[in-house]
Amino acid sequence: MKRRRWDSKTKTKIVLEGLSGRPVSEICNEYGIHQNQYYLWRDKFLSEAHKAFDAKKDIGEVTRLRKKNQELTQIIGSLTVELKKTEDEFI
């Protein structure tokens, strides 16, 4: 049997169906997954749910780091040009 890959949105939908009170056996039969798989997804979902509220902070951090990276890249470029000019003067 070919292994299926489930995207995160579908996994979330499946887990939320179970958390809303629908019988897990019914959900698993509908989607063709084993109950153990459902419980693994549910446990991961619940253990990482707090990260949903950190997203805005993470985006700000990524933006800050990208800006810093760009600044450092420009400095390195300028220093490389200066070094090249200095090397050319001595040749």
Mean pLDDT of all residues in 46-65: 82
Query: pTM (2 decimals)?
Result: 0.59
**Mean of per-residue pLDDT scores for the chain:** 91
Looking at residue 7, the DSSP 8-state letter turns out to be -
Mean pLDDT of all residues in 18-41: 97
SS3 of residue 34 by DSSP = coil
For the chain, the structural domain boundaries read: 7-49, 54-91
pLDDT band at 62 (very low <50, low <70, confident <90, very high): confident
**One-letter amino acid identity for 67?**
K
pLDDT at 72 exceeding the cut of 80: yes
CA atoms within 13 A on the CB side of 16: 7
Between the alpha carbon of residue 3 and those of residues 43, 45, 73, the distances in Å are 21, 22, 44
Contacts of 6 (CB under 8 A, 6+ apart): 14
The dihedral formed by the CA atoms of 13, 15, 19 and 22, expressed in degrees to the nearest 10: 80
